[in-house]
Chains A and B, each alone.
Chain A
């Protein structure tokens, strides 16, 4: 049974946005694949994209 979901993250340092497969309950240190910053914001799915 797969417990993974595709989640969206945004780097608060360089703005890079990316998706990653996330396993439920995983305990993982995140860093930006582009700039290595640890300021990785987990973007919630429910929220509709913010306008302007």
Chain B
């Protein structure tokens, strides 16, 4: 069985049983069952025959290991950009166009060529080597606007390695900016230039190949001189960017993390809490938080370890006193709260009052917003507190205001992000914070309309980001019911809006606020008056209902 060797970027081969690379830890053979023909004597089974220690077990299976932990460091790294989609550079068409990762294997003494740098088409040593920067980075056209941080310095390093190994090489680097800002980086850049590397400011539009010689021709506008240049080269290295690993979404879901627009993990605060995840007890180390080089990864690893150590040393944490409390006397034993709790933190049996398991309650408030009988108090986010805020904000000139509920973790934080990024939007909005959008009860929304709010928005986390597992699905259902209710009462339902805004989406927060302000201008004072009338609570009927309920019990 012969397969391409992944470690050597497919430049050499391996068998179905192999050591991944000489310095591997653990340094033992692995049997790749996807490649193995199996222990069928007719098919193969040769490794079992020759292994004197009888270490080969075909029946070994994956197993689930359970460990209880008090903290998690997420260090899931990166993925290197695959330049296939940028076909203008012919990565899949031309043998002598390689990526910077493939370069690493070709120049390495432990690589497939034992460090003899040769080009793939004819195994000859190239002397004219071009490097193209920002392949898959700083390119909005392909949806990759971020700087990958490491590629400029990596190319500078590559040019120095080549110049050191082969004094006759002619390196040309095509770039848009060289970002050499780290300690001793500028010095390396100067050394590369002194070693004869030419730096041409301008990214080539395409690469052409001579089908006979397999040499490559690059046409580029040198933006410093303004002239079109043609370069014939033996080999081109695409300095590929990086992206977040594909497992990120999976880990993100498990630990309720969010990501920034570049796809990397969102930290608790971009400046002051750069290694903390918004989820308590979770920390970031390395590339998965943002592109960074080895030194910065090591620094962040130390910081993450230190933050984790502090938590483990403390041995205990305080749980914020925002959990739910049920008044047994007021509880009508309906069990609605238990049904909506995402944590199963409410124990309920038919005919008995519901009971909160405090250690399991995270304080989202789904239950509090659901209870029809006022039996649930969300500590520190009570109905009284939130209704008082609604009334206070709308006490004067409510017609000029856009009223918004925002959840602590995402949409309120998105508002903070708009602030940190100084993104401007109309000053008419008034935000009231809850822990989760699911805390916002029908009554709170209706009260805002009764107070004269022209527009009310309920906002929370995107589905994947909900910090209370899936509590915001309750929000969706509640808003759907409210739209129906408002329409029935003759109130334009579009005056109630729903938005998911992540902590990273300062832009979206500002955009939504602008849209809501436009919508507000369509609401007339006459309409507001009518709404107030239409939504007036009907005390008699409600009292009758309650009486009936009491009798039934």
Residues of A within 8 A of B (CB): 12-13, 15, 27-29, 37-42
Contacts and interface: CB of A to CB of B under 8 A. Distances in A.
Contact of A38 (B464, B473, B494, B498): B498
A28 B444 CA distance: 26
A15 B483 CA distance: 14
Interface in B458-484: 462-464, 470, 473, 480, 483
Find the residue from A27, A38, A40, A42 having the highest chain B CB count within 10 A. A38
A26 to B, nearest CB: 11
Nearest to A40: B498
A27 B470 contact: yes
B494 A13 contact: yes
Given A12-B483, A13-B515, A27-B470, A39 B498 contact: yes
A15 B515 CA distance: 13
B102 interface: no
B499 interface: yes
A9 to B, nearest CB: 11
B494 A29 contact: no
B462 A29 contact: yes
Given A12-B483, A13-B519, 19 more contacts: A12-B493, A12-B494, A13-B497, A13-B515, A27-B463, A28-B463, A29-B462, A29-B500, A37-B497, A37-B515, A38-B498, A38-B499, A38-B500, A39-B494, A39-B496, A40-B498, A41-B480, A41-B483, A41-B493
Dominant secondary structure of chain B at its interface with chain A: helix
21 contacts: A12-B483, A12-B493, A12-B494, A12-B496, A13-B494, A13-B497, A13-B515, A15-B494, A27-B463, A27-B470, A29-B462, A29-B463, A37-B515, A38-B498, A39-B494, A39-B496, A39-B497, A39-B498, A40-B498, A41-B483, A42-B480
Interface in B489-514: 493-494, 496-500
- 9 smallest A-B Cβ distances: which pairs? A29-B463, A12-B494, A39-B498, A39-B497, A38-B500, A38-B499, A41-B483, A38-B498, A29-B462
Contacts, number: 35
Contacts of B500: 29, 38
Contacts of B463: 27-29
Contacts of A28: 463
A42 B483 CA distance: 10
Dominant secondary structure of chain A at its interface with chain B: loop
Interface string B62-88: 000000000000000000000000000
Nearest to B508: A36
A37 B493 contact: no
Contacts of A37: 497, 499, 515
Contacts of A38: 498-500
Nearest to A15: B494
B134 to A, nearest CB: 29
Contacts of A12: 483, 493-494, 496-498
Contacts of A41: 480, 483, 493
A7 to B, nearest CB: 12
A13 B480 CA distance: 14
A23 to B, nearest CB: 15
Nearest to B480: A42
Contacts of B483: 12, 41
A40 B500 CA distance: 11
Contacts of A39: 494, 496-499
B425 to A, nearest CB: 16
B267 to A, nearest CB: 23
Nearest to B457: A39
Contacts of A13: 494, 497, 515, 519
A27 B253 CA distance: 14
A8 to B, nearest CB: 13
A39 B519 CA distance: 13
Nearest to B494: A12
Find the residue from B493, B498, B500 having the highest chain A CB count within 10 A. B498
Contacts of A29: 462-464, 500
Interface in B366-420: none
A39 B512 CA distance: 11
A15 B470 CA distance: 27
A28 to B, nearest CB: 7
Nearest to B495: A12
Contacts of B499: 37-39
Contacts of B464: 29
